[in-house]
Chains A and B, each alone.
Chain A
């Protein structure tokens, strides 16, 4: 998984490596500075002449400038590397999702995909930045500072032997203990938030049943629970600060005591006052590096979940593959199902479709009826190859759908989905989804067939009316008509309407169907509907039940032969004598 993510660094490998190199330089100088200042302090103490002190001072200022340059550049390059890495991640996730088939899409919820592309990528970006800045810096600083401490302070460096294991072990202990505790708390937190959300959403129910007190009690219990666990986790982490402070203090006392003894007994020959000051700085640098290393550990564990979630999308393989030499032309609107069976996943026990044998000639109109879950939508989704049949063959224009390129197939099979959707933009822009090059006349013609032209013209801005996200500013029926027009613009050979006129009044519904018959007679039309009236004049009506075709025939035939059909018909027309379903 890490490999998969690391693959997204791509062109930002250069700034990443530059960052690492610059940081090596910065650390090197940061460690040298106390060394130099120690000399300067000693020189001042010894009363050296101003010139030599000034020279050391200038060198130090020069070093600070180099360190500033290195650090500043590293700050820029690492921001570039991490922001670029994040950009690539987002691009890859988005592109990957675009390559998903319906089967893949079903597996992820919209909300979870959005979170992956925003919060999770941000988390990874931040960790990447932290890591390339500190992964080299902290260990390098640790090693350099220890070496310099020994070179310069000699016996004084014994303090490190005592302090490093104490802090190191302490930090390791805290991280080990605290991380699982935090993860547990975060999960509980998610659940608490879910409960708040369902309360906000269901506020009318809560108030309607006067359940305020009950909900308060439930929330209080959950909140107390989190408080207890969180306190436990925070108290473990709270050990870090005093521990760090203890080590710093220990270093200070040790250096003062042992240092003054060394200076006095050796009369300043081994070390002097300047070195004492420098040893304090080294001690600080070493302890800070240890702290940083523990922070890296924490960040990595914290973002591991984000990385996993991103990796999950990136390693999801599209369930549909195109043939090596695909057909690019669909001959006509003929549709054939040969012993087709289908289930949504390998593991599913129930077949969504079973033993479907169906032959539709070009230009025919086919109506499909049946209850929820009987397989209507599933059946038509196999035609533009939104899913692949589990068993049997689906043919379009006489050829297996798997032989076509997906673009060629889907361009010839226009489908108006049950959950139809418009995008933010003008009406014209939305319609051009069907055909980017459509002329205004073509657009208006499609809208006339879909009975949308009239109401579009009634808007002040006509075809340039802005549609809001989700199409909230047009009514349900208008939205459905626009979606039909959009599909018509594709000039398809097969047109599928999946319950696409449910919100349209009966007269308009009839006008749309009449338009289909006269304006696009050669297009094969499949109409899924709840209303019998919407399919009554079709050449062929299929009644689905439990994934099978329970009955097929014309309206009159079915009325005579099919009990279920008769029942639905009577229910909807209010004709007497219908037995209860």
Chain B
């Protein structure tokens, strides 16, 4: 079930969780531990008082003199009550602190995770499924919650109680303790056996659930196809087979788990009887007791011992359950720490983008928004600062690149884009069109060759400033929850409402936005699901327009929008492209015709280069694509 490596692994991530917790709460965390220990010890001591009281009862039993007896009994009970009050108070205190601390801890962890995630390179996101990343924030963080709010405290609590009770039991009688320990060993053995069976079937149940879920997902997606082909009955039949399997695994897993409870409870009962019998035999035979206290066998000792036996077995059980829970939670905690250990995107850039104004024919850096920008390029060797006007001149020279070391996807690619030029990439899926743009805004770094922006090596430019100078409109439009206006403003956070509306007008989006129920204040839920693909694209264009970058990367949408909307989108795009350097990833040839340069890519190499007329005249790949005798995808 769990081998040593598992335990050590969980120990490692547990230790890190504890360290983090204590790091965040250097006062509250140790205080809580102290309070838990205190209240746990207190809950173990009643046995001592009970033994005393019972001994006193025994002493005064035949006298019937309550007045006399109460004088010695009551102080004991009052002392116990006093301890109990303290225990309840400390318990109240630590449960309240725990509630506060757990949520605070989760909040801090969430923020740390999110902050760290933000700084990870695109490479990280490209390699993982979205659902996988999502589950950090749902399942994994939930296992942390369980750990901090339940497993840790009850581990301490049960641990302390088990030790305290064991000590007291040994204080009372070593023989009786040994009898009890034998029983506990049997109990742990059974738990392992039955629990192991349960765990095995729970794993199978998990697998069955995944299979069923996969099937349902596929069928729900294809529900309309099922209808059109009248395949309903077959679908139900196939589903029932999977469903039956899930049922049988689920039944077995739960049956094992359910049976465990009465087994444990009744072993406890039997143990109780055995102990009582053992006690009875010891008492009757007058066996000599062996104990730390040196007490002789006495009924006042047997009764509290029986109660302790229950407490002891209960807590041993609790302890083993929590250890199991921690081993199970291991994966979640490990995943979270793996995320936090992930190397963030590095940025050694020192060239920044600044506002400038012209003074006596020379550029001067300024704080105010002048609408004119320049690269502030400090030269390390000479100690001088050069201001290079931002123009949007982008050059790739002999660039090689591969997403993974041994699989090259771009070979010796050179692209020259002068300010205001439109460069279009054409080629099949996987030819490397998107990859080139990924390199320009440094989502990925090149393996060989160089990329220059206004003559500056882009590795020297601070990433955020480089990206600020490059607008993007992606194939898949991603909008954020918020109003239409907020989504447009995403392009430049300090844009005024008027500037946003102006951008929407430029994009040709104003027309449909004003017809929305609440115009620019309409809430876009769920990635703008209430808008059509074309409308979402128009908002993305407006978003890029408000940012007003000198250079643009456009990845055309592949989803089929009708010719009318396409025309509007195209017009928006054209407006947006005016006066900017533009890289277009073209999926339709109709849009590249007026590009200054068309680059035809094939398996990572540029195979043709030139404007529309030249390429058509060449009668090469572009020509064949253009005439429709060749499939693009």
Contacts and interface: CB of A to CB of B under 8 A. Distances in A.
Nearest to A41: B303
Interface in A12-47: 26, 30, 33, 37, 40-41, 43-45, 47
Contacts of B630: 505
Interface stretch (B66-74, B363-371, B512-520): B66-74
Contact of B276 (A57, A113, A196): A57
Interface string B460-497: 00011101101110100011110000000011010000
Given A208-B467, A210-B467, A71 B261 contact: yes
B224 A417 contact: yes
Interface stretch (B23-31, B54-62, B500-508): B54-62
B114 A82 contact: no
Interface residues of A, number: 158
Contacts of A199: 118, 480
Contact of B563 (A37, A95, A231, A371): A371
29 contacts: A30-B265, A44-B299, A61-B270, A75-B257, A75-B259, A87-B247, A91-B240, A94-B239, A105-B227, A113-B216, A118-B209, A193-B137, A194-B526, A197-B130, A198-B527, A200-B117, A208-B472, A210-B464, A210-B465, A211-B493, A212-B464, A249-B87, A256-B49, A257-B73, A257-B74, A260-B56, A264-B69, A277-B306, A372-B562
B361 interface: no
Given A201-B527, A204-B443, A417 B225 contact: yes
A87 B273 contact: no
Contacts of B149: 234
Interface string B231-253: 11101100110011011101111
Contacts of A90: 212, 239, 243, 246
B263 A212 contact: no
Contacts of A261: 66, 70
A362 to B, nearest CB: 21
Given A114-B220, A530-B560, A234 B102 contact: yes
Contact of B66 (A100, A194, A264, A508): A264
A398 interface: no
B230 A50 contact: no
B628 A268 contact: no
A202 B251 contact: no
Given A196-B137, A505-B630, A75 B258 contact: yes
Interface string A498-516: 0100111111100000000
A384 B87 contact: no
A163 interface: no
Contact of B261 (A75, A87, A102): A75
Given A113-B216, A434-B229, A206 B560 contact: no
B284 to A, nearest CB: 6
B442 to A, nearest CB: 9
A433 B231 CA distance: 8
A372 B262 contact: no
A212 B119 contact: yes
Interface string A76-107: 10111011101100110011011111100100
B65 interface: yes
A299 interface: no
Given A61-B273, A98-B226, A249 B247 contact: no
A63 B273 CA distance: 11
Interface stretch (B105-113, B323-331, B416-424): B105-113
Given A207-B441, A209-B490, A264-B64, 11 more contacts: A37-B272, A65-B266, A67-B266, A71-B259, A75-B260, A80-B255, A209-B543, A227-B103, A252-B84, A277-B307, A410-B229
Contacts of B118: 199, 206, 212, 215-216
Interface in A391-405: none
A1 interface: no
Contacts of A98: 226, 232-233, 235-236
A177 interface: no
B594 interface: no
B481 A410 contact: no
B160 interface: no
B114 A114 contact: no
Contacts of B579: none
A470 B218 CA distance: 8
B412 interface: no
A253 B81 contact: yes
Interface string A395-434: 0000000000011001100110101110110000000011
A105 B95 contact: no
Nearest to B438: A204
A575 to B, nearest CB: 13
Contact of A87 (B92, B246, B467, B627): B246
B221 A110 contact: yes
State which size class the interface on B falls in. 35 or more
A272 B39 CA distance: 30
A264 B61 contact: yes
Interface string A228-244: 00110011011101100
A114 B212 CA distance: 10
Most chain B beta carbons < 10 A, residue from A78, A117, A276: A117
Contacts, number: 413
Contacts of B80: 252-253, 256
A84 B248 CA distance: 9
Contacts of A91: 236, 239-240, 243
A469 interface: yes
Interface string A456-499: 00000000000001100001110000000010001000000001
Contacts of B266: 64-65, 67-68, 71
Interface string B62-102: 11111001100110010011001001100110011011101
B244 A87 contact: yes
Contacts of B195: none
A315 interface: no
Contacts of A263: 57, 61
A264 B250 contact: no
Interface in B580-631: 627-631
Contacts of A245: 39, 43, 87-88, 91
Nearest to B272: A37
Contact of B478 (A26, A101, A202): A202
Nearest to A98: B232
A555 B417 CA distance: 43
B370 to A, nearest CB: 20
B273 A37 contact: yes
A267 interface: yes
A546 B58 CA distance: 98
Nearest to A418: B560
A319 to B, nearest CB: 12
A442 to B, nearest CB: 16
Given A44-B299, A118-B213, A26 B221 contact: no
B50 interface: yes
A118 B633 contact: no
A417 B280 contact: no
Given A249-B88, A433-B231, A581-B567, A200 B464 contact: no
B530 interface: no
A341 interface: no
A464 to B, nearest CB: 20
Interface stretch (A141-149, A218-226, A329-337): A218-226
A438 interface: no
Nearest to A250: B84
Nearest to A386: B227
Interface in B281-324: 281, 283-284, 299, 302-303, 306-307
Interface string A362-389: 0000000011111000000000101000
B481 A195 contact: yes
Contacts of B479: 198, 202
B472 A205 contact: yes
Given A68-B266, A125-B250, A407-B230, A41 B96 contact: no
Nearest to A198: B480
